[in-house]
Amino acid sequence: MTIALIDGNNFYAACEQSIDPSLVDQPLVVLSNNDGCIISRNAEAKAFGIPMGAPFFKVRTKLKQYGVKIRSSNYALYGDMSERFMNLIKNYCEELEIYSIDEAFVNIKRPMNCNLHPWAKELRTHIYQNLSLPIAIGIGATKTQAKLANYLAKKVADTAGIFDLEISKHQEDWLESIAVENVWGIGHKMAQWCRLRGINNALQLRDAPSHELKAKLGITGIRLQNELKGVRCIPFAKYNKAKKETCVSRSFNKPITTMDELRQAISSYAVRASEKLRKQNQVAGIITIFTRTSLHKATFYSKSASKRLKPHSNDTSILLNASLALTPEIFKQNLPLIKAGVIMQDLQEDKYLQLHLFETYNSQSTIQRKVLMQTIDNLNQRYGSNTVRWTAYGTSPTWSMRRKYLSPSATTRLTDIPIVIS
Ligand SMILES: [Mg+2]
């Protein structure tokens, strides 16, 4: 078996372009929550030298001057595109490990002639035809090699987005061309340590004295070296690990000071968090809510409060009531709160629901509640989030995120489906 790392190029910007053809070939940037800073740029925007992570207000004039298109982050869109992306890859491999929103490791058998290029080419075309997302495919004997191959697929001209490091005749030359900072698992500090010892690239790291790496990094160092040599040490996670915690938190577009506003925000996050739990087939045993003022203010305030849920639950009204009851504990008068959130902890799979000995268990009403939640989720999925909503979080919140340049929910809301006029 060989490993390939499949990775979307400039994923958020590519998703935006895929639902809005007017953005194709135009420089485009995507902003973080609250339109704070730049988190994704397409190739045309990169060519203008707009840096990743730049605060929006600092580059606003420059963007306007160059005619760069701007979008607020639309996570409903990226999440949905990611799901479609992973589902398409599944048909092209033996095993799939979702690594991030736009990255997956796959296990794949080499054909008789060892050449995986036709496979990779077909997969790229398939993804592009279905989702208009450009991807890079890196192939290697190990996850680390696949990651480096993916880096080369993006950086080296003439690769057409595909790089097979495992069978390359010039593997050592390629490893030598990769700076040590760009090796998967080498952080900023570790890279400095390597450079001080004259280890400047991936090849030198592979051949560095093992005992020195072991002394510095422990077993991780030895694993990393073996992986570079082509010996598999990092296991392939066939099953997605169940989440241990689920958090929904946001910064407000302007500070809030009233209990009512905080209640509304907390309730909307609790509703979202319970939807997430149901999607993950999990129930929570502890709910924690928190809020804070700006980190840069002298009068910094931060407070959280928790409640144990008996029994575990993912029922919106139970989680909503629990979080609303906790809100007075974290609120403080006359303080400009800029962020709040809800964290669900002690998660369990919902089929193993632990029942409490002294709790009366009414199966009829439990089933009815489950069906109700499912119906609400289905309606919101079909017609867009907030089609069915809880009144606790108000109809026109003043605190919601700043998303001035938000694209429509083209893939998750029926009314937002793009219309093609021929
Ligand atoms: Mg990517």
Q: Rounded to the nearest whole angstrom, what is the distance from the C-alpha of residue 156 to the centroid of ligand 1?
A: 16
CA of 10 to the centre of ligand 1 (A): 6
Q: Are 176 and 159 found together in one domain?
A: no
Residue 412 CA to ligand 1 center (angstroms) comes to 22
Q: Give pairs for 115-122: CB < 8 Å, separation 24+.
A: 116/2, 116/4, 116/164, 117/162, 117/164, 119/92, 120/4, 120/162, 120/164, 121/160, 121/162, 122/92
pLDDT of residue 66: 94
Residues 173 and 161 in one domain: no
Tell whether 420 is covered by a domain: no
Q: Which CATH number is 65's domain given? A: 3.30.70.270
402 lies in some domain: no
Q: Using the mean position of ligand 1's atoms as its centre, give its distance from the Cα of residue 233 in Å.
A: 24
Same structural domain for residues 20 and 161? yes
Q: Is residue 411 part of a domain?
A: no
Distance 58 CA to ligand 1 centre (A): 25
> CA-CA distances (angstroms) from residue 221 to 65, 112, 186, 211, 225?
47, 34, 10, 9, 6
User: Which of 150, 168, 186 corresponds to the end of one domain?
Assistant: 168
How far does residue 348's CA lie from ligand 1's centre (Å)? 31
Residue 405 lies in a domain: no
Q: Which long-range contacts (CB under 8 A, 24 or more apart) does 209-213 make?
A: none
pLDDT at 270: 92
Report the separation in Å between the CA atom of 91 and the middle of ligand 1, taken as the mean of its atom positions: 20
pLDDT for 373 equals: 84
Residue 399 in any domain: the answer is no
Do 63 and 146 have their domain in common? yes
User: From ligand 1's centre to the CA of 104, what distance in Å?
Assistant: 10
> Could you tell me the CA-to-CA distances from 197 to 206, 212, 213, 225 in Å, in that order?
14, 10, 11, 16
Q: Do 22 and 144 fall into the same domain?
A: yes
CA distances from residue 380 to 368, 376, 419 in whole angstroms, order as listed: 18, 6, 21
Q: Indicate the pairing of strand 302-313 with strand 162-164.
A: unpaired
Q: Of 135, 150, 168, which residue is a domain's last?
A: 168
Query: Can you state the percent helix, strand and coil of the chain, rounding each to 5?
Result: 45, 20, 35
Beta-bridged to residue 304, according to DSSP, are 290
CATH number at residue 196: 1.10.150.20
Last residue of a domain, one of 151, 168, 185: 168
Total domains, the chain: 3
CA 39 to centroid of ligand 1, rounded, Å: 12
Same-domain pairing of 200 and 220 = yes
Q: How far is the CA of 154 from the centre of ligand 1 (A)?
A: 10
**pLDDT in 10s for each residue of the chain, 422 residues:** 999 999 999 999 999 999 998 999 999 999 987 788 899 999 999 999 999 999 999 999 999 999 999 999 888 789 889 999 999 999 999 899 999 899 999 999 999 999 999 999 999 999 999 999 999 999 999 999 999 999 999 999 888 899 999 999 999 999 999 999 999 989 889 999 999 999 999 999 999 999 999 998 889 899 999 999 999 999 887 666 677 788 898 888 889 999 999 999 998 899 999 999 998 889 999 999 999 998 777 788 989 999 999 889 999 989 999 999 999 999 998 899 999 999 999 888 877 554 555 555 567 777 788 888 888 888 887 777 677 777 766 666 666 667 788 888 888 777 788 877 76
Let me know whether 120 and 200 are in one domain. no
Are 58 and 205 members of one domain? no
Ramachandran angles phi, psi of 87, nearest 5°: -65, -35
Q: Vertex 199, ends 224 and 7: CA angle to 5°?
A: 50
Q: If you measure from the C-alpha of residue 144 to the centroid of ligand 1, how many angstroms do you get, rounded to a whole number?
A: 16
Query: C-alpha angle 206/208/213, rounded to 5°?
Result: 100
121 and 228 share one domain: no
Tell me the CA–centroid distance for residue 199 and ligand 1, in Å: 27
Distance (angstroms) between ligand 1 centre and the Cα of 299 equals 39
pLDDT at 416: 81
Please, which residues have CB within 8 angstroms of residue 192's CB and are 6 or more apart in sequence?
none
224 and 261 assigned to the same domain: no
Q: Are residues 234 and 301 in the same domain?
A: no
CA of 103 to the centre of ligand 1 (A): 6
Q: Domain of residue 287: give its range.
A: 246-393
Residue 295 inside a domain? The answer is yes
Residues 175 and 164 in one domain: no
Closest listed residue to residue 323, CA positions, set 303, 305, 336, 302: 305
